[in-house]
Amino acid sequence: MSTKKPATDKSQLAGTDTPDRANTNAKLDSLEKFRSDATGQALRTNQGVKIADNQNTLKAGPRGPSLLEDFIMREKITHFDHERIPERIVHARGTGAHGFFQSYENHSALTKAGFLRDPGKKTPVFVRFSTVQGPRGSGDTVRDVRGFAVKFFTDEGNFDLVGNNMPVFFIQDAIKFPDFVHAVKPEPHNEIPTGGSAHDTFWDFVSLVPESAHMVIWAMSDRAIPKSLRSMQGFGVHTFRLINAEGKSRFVKFHWRPTAGTCSLVWDEAQKLAGKDTDYHRRDLWEAIETGDYPEWELGVQVIEEENEHDFDFDILDPTKLIPEEIVPITPLGKMTLNRNPDNFFAETEQVAFCPGHIVPGIDFSNDPLLQGRLFSYTDTQISRLGGPNFHELPINRPVVPFPNGQRDAQHRTVIDKGRASYEPNSIDGGWPKETPPAAQDGGFESYAERIDANKIRQRSESFSDHFSQARLFFKSMSKHEQEHIISAYSFELGKVEREHIRAREVNEILTNIDLELARRVATNLGLPAPTQGTVEVRKTSLDHSPALSQANLLPENIKTRKVAILAANGVDGAAIEAMKKALAAEGAHAKLLGPTSAPVKTADGKSLAVDASMEGMPSVVFDAAFVPGGAASVKALSGDGVALHYLLEAYKHLKAIALHGEAKQLLDVLKLEADAGLIEGADVKALTKPFFAAIGQHRVWDREAKAKAIPA
């Protein structure tokens, strides 16, 4: 058999001496006109019009609202919205849950939104959490931003708060969103990598777009690998308005704070979980709700009076900026509880349709140019994904109030309209449905009457021009171990970039302007010359450190819902197991008994104990801590069991609390480990619990990290 490769391109085929050569070449010629090479070409619209500004949406003044007449932005985003059928272009990998929101008190001084004025009212909600980059089949624990979208089914209509687990975003203007997503998605020639940003096109884009610097450093932090969905903060990202019954408007930023605290995985653990339990986050959320550990978040707002809009050293309309809590504290509004899992993933989680434009009286928009574009884009996307404009009639999206409006027909219509008039005004159906004046009781929606006096212009406001101060604030606000993780993340990600000039540009033109030591450390890890100075002048700001940004300051004061693995073999001390389970249950934590196999283990006094799984079936990466009870025979068996020893070494490497009871102390010598604040041994279970639980409550034993790096993966 010949091993000669067949001809695959036009030049090869042209030289083949076959009767069909002319036809073949003609076919290839006809295809050539469809091939596009942008080298040397001007940027144009799909209609061939040259584009003068691809960076800014057409607005009414540099800080004004975006204009619907911007055909360039609309064409670009419309095309982007329809790129995938039927999977979401971004946020495809998601999971969801039902619950309710309850206001703490009557917040009528802030807003006339009914669900925030009645503390006795429980407003139904549906929440969808998601990753951004990967497709539906990608892993839960990849390094990525997490979507945090909440649909409130209020008595005044649906309100969708569509945000992320990070308070800022990569770009300032919605016209750049297709560019950013194209860059972060798998590369077009080989569809690699799945669910990750460690590749050339992403870093090429962000190294050329300094406005992304703040969000990128968040993505390189531990925030991008959350411990669970239950331990994520959520943010509305944009500046919105709250308006009260008197028409008084205030700017606000929305915040979600988990009662479980905010914490993350370590990188090695996140990578292993992506292989060992691809569904780790969705499984954790599902199981927590099923066991009654209902996840809770407090909703709060940062409130900025209109007259104080320009009092900051950044622009509150800039979506790449946050408002430090030390400058504007968070005002708590109420609490959200998730207490019911979906009955059908497709019908609910997959078909739920969120749109930032879904608001109710008492809530309104700001002129944030990223938000302004999202108001158009999300509805357009849902029409594409869900087969037409009637996606609001799907049960998961359907408001709890009627929605008669004369909009009829189209695909997937389920409402059967009575009456003959599908227009307004009409006299045939008695004039119904009719408008509701905004001043009436439970009045109709009225947009805030913001005065606009400006030229139509494509221009970025000068107040959006500082791209590094808040990235610097974030890095300097991190604890030592968080800073080390950021350095490691940049080094890992940029180490995957094939083109050296992209790596060098990110270090020399972005990182040097955030923090010179950060840039030097990353450069050294990449084998690049260490930079000596930044390329832009450091701006003086009112704040250089924000403790609220560090997850080290966001831990809960308990170990509720934490999961502890108990490792045992035949001959184990059954009383020690029982005592530890009882102590953990009293704290609201959970224990799982793991054996060498799935078969029951026998205690030292001959009793049979059913195990929850084998050590291979439930690896250490799915637990928060490990406990090894005494029992000479059990400890001897574990000492000779490679799986058990790897289990403990892996937990140690991932900085988790480990308690060794009685004879289990011998494992320190077997594993060649030294006791520390989170590796505790003792003969009395009761005495062990206090330091053990304290170590679990700190989430990780950070002082161990340097030693743990010497442990093989």
DSSP state of 145: -
Arithmetic mean of pLDDT, 28-46:
71
Quick one: pLDDT band at residue 689, thresholds 50, 70, 90? very high
Same domain flag for 379 and 273? yes
Quick one: pLDDT band at residue 25, thresholds 50, 70, 90? low
Q: What are the angstrom distances between the C-alpha of 523 and each of 148, 173, 286, 503, 513?
A: 34, 31, 42, 9, 14
Same domain flag for 193 and 250? yes
**pLDDT, tens only, 362-420:** 999 999 999 999 999 999 999 989 988 898 999 999 999 988 888 888 888 888 888 89
Provide the 3-class DSSP secondary structure of residue 173: coil
- pLDDT over threshold 90, residue 26: no
What pLDDT was estimated at residue 13?
Answer: 34
What pLDDT was estimated at residue 258?
Answer: 98
Range of the domain at 482: 475-547
Same domain flag for 151 and 268? yes
Provide the 3-class DSSP secondary structure of residue 490: helix
Q: Give the separation between CA 586 and CA 702, rounded to whole angstroms.
A: 26
The residue assigned the tokens 């400006």 is 454
Same domain flag for 543 and 574? no
- pLDDT over threshold 50, residue 2: no
In-domain check, residue 333? yes
In-domain check, residue 556? no
In-domain check, residue 414? no
What pLDDT was estimated at residue 9?
Answer: 39
What pLDDT was estimated at residue 46?
Answer: 78
Same domain flag for 604 and 643? yes
Same domain flag for 485 and 386? no
- pLDDT over threshold 50, residue 7: no
Arithmetic mean of pLDDT, 144-170:
97
Could you write out the DSSP letters of every residue in 195-227?
A: T---SHHHHHHHHH-GGGHHHHHHHTSGGGSBS
What pLDDT was estimated at residue 30?
Answer: 62
What pLDDT was estimated at residue 19?
Answer: 46
What pLDDT was estimated at residue 159?
Answer: 96
Given 522, 547, 572, the domain boundary residue is 547
Arithmetic mean of pLDDT, 83-92:
82
What pLDDT was estimated at residue 34?
Answer: 62
- Return the ∠ at Cα 671 (arms to 668 and 674), rounded to 5°: 45
In-domain check, residue 43? no
Quick one: pLDDT band at residue 353, thresholds 50, 70, 90? very high
In-domain check, residue 581? yes
58: phi then psi, degrees, rounded to nearest 5 = -65, 125
Higher pLDDT among residues 490 and 51, named by residue: 490
Torsion of CA 307, 313, 319, 320, to 10 degrees: -170
Query: Judging by DSSP bridges, how do beta strands 146-154 and 157-164 pair with one another?
Result: antiparallel
Same domain flag for 281 and 335? yes
Same domain flag for 568 and 516? no
Amino acid at 257: R
- pLDDT over threshold 50, residue 108: yes
What pLDDT was estimated at residue 251?
Answer: 98
Q: Give the separation between CA 488 and CA 534, rounded to whole angstroms.
A: 21
Q: Give the separation between CA 530 and CA 480, rounded to whole angstroms.
A: 21
Arithmetic mean of pLDDT, 539-567:
96
In-domain check, residue 39? no
Q: Give the separation between CA 631 and CA 616, rounded to whole angstroms.
A: 22
Given 393, 422, 456, the domain boundary residue is 393
Quick one: pLDDT band at residue 14, thresholds 50, 70, 90? very low
**CATH code at 359?**
2.40.180.10
Lowest mean pLDDT among 35-39, 349-353, 556-560: 35-39
Same domain flag for 658 and 612? yes
Instruction: Check: CB of residue 132 under 8 Å from CB of residue 91.
Output: yes
**Structure token pair of residue 633:** 């025979």
**pLDDT, tens only, 277-314:** 999 999 999 999 999 999 999 999 999 999 999 999 99
What pLDDT was estimated at residue 710?
Answer: 85
Burial class of residue 297 in the structure, from the number of CB atoms within 10 Å of its CB (0-12 exposed, 13-18 middle, 19+ buried): buried
Count the domains in the chain: 3
643: phi then psi, degrees, rounded to nearest 5 = -65, -45
**CATH code at 661?**
3.40.50.880
Instruction: Check: CB of residue 591 under 8 Å from CB of residue 581.
Output: yes
Q: Which residue(s) pair with 102 in the sheet? A: 122, 335
- pLDDT over threshold 50, residue 4: no
**pLDDT, tens only, 655-664:** 999 999 999 9
What pLDDT was estimated at residue 11?
Answer: 37
The per-residue pLDDT of the chain, averaged, comes to: 93
Taking alpha carbons only, the member of 112, 113, 94, 117 closest to residue 158 is 113
Lowest mean pLDDT among 36-45, 262-271, 426-435, 557-566: 36-45
Instruction: Check: CB of residue 412 under 8 Å from CB of residue 397.
Output: no
CA 176 to chain centre: 20
Same domain flag for 143 and 243? yes
What pLDDT was estimated at residue 521?
Answer: 98
- pLDDT over threshold 50, residue 1: no
Q: Give the separation between CA 699 and CA 552, rounded to whole angstroms.
A: 9
Q: Which residue(s) pair with 264 in the sheet? A: 226
In-domain check, residue 17? no
**CATH code at 494?**
1.20.1370.20
- Return the ∠ at Cα 453 (arms to 447 and 457), rounded to 5°: 100
What pLDDT was estimated at residue 21?
Answer: 55
Report, as residue numbers or ranges, the catalytic residues. 91, 164
DSSP H/E element including 522: helix 516-526
Quick one: pLDDT band at residue 85, thresholds 50, 70, 90? low
Arithmetic mean of pLDDT, 571-595:
98
Instruction: Check: CB of residue 420 under 8 Å from CB of residue 428.
Output: yes
DSSP state of 34: T
- pLDDT over threshold 70, residue 214: yes
Handedness of CA 342, 347, 350, 354 (dihedral sign): negative
Q: Give the separation between CA 493 and CA 204, rounded to whole angstroms.
A: 12
Q: Which residue(s) pair with 59 in the sheet? A: 66, 457
Instruction: Check: CB of residue 178 under 8 Å from CB of residue 54.
Output: no
Amino acid at 565: A
Quick one: pLDDT band at residue 423, thresholds 50, 70, 90? confident
- Percent with pLDDT over 90 in the chain: 82
In-domain check, residue 461? no
Given 349, 378, 393, the domain boundary residue is 393
Same domain flag for 171 and 291? yes
Q: Give the separation between CA 247 and CA 273, rounded to whole angstroms.
A: 51
Q: Give the separation between CA 282 and CA 207, rounded to whole angstroms.
A: 33
Same domain flag for 357 and 267? yes
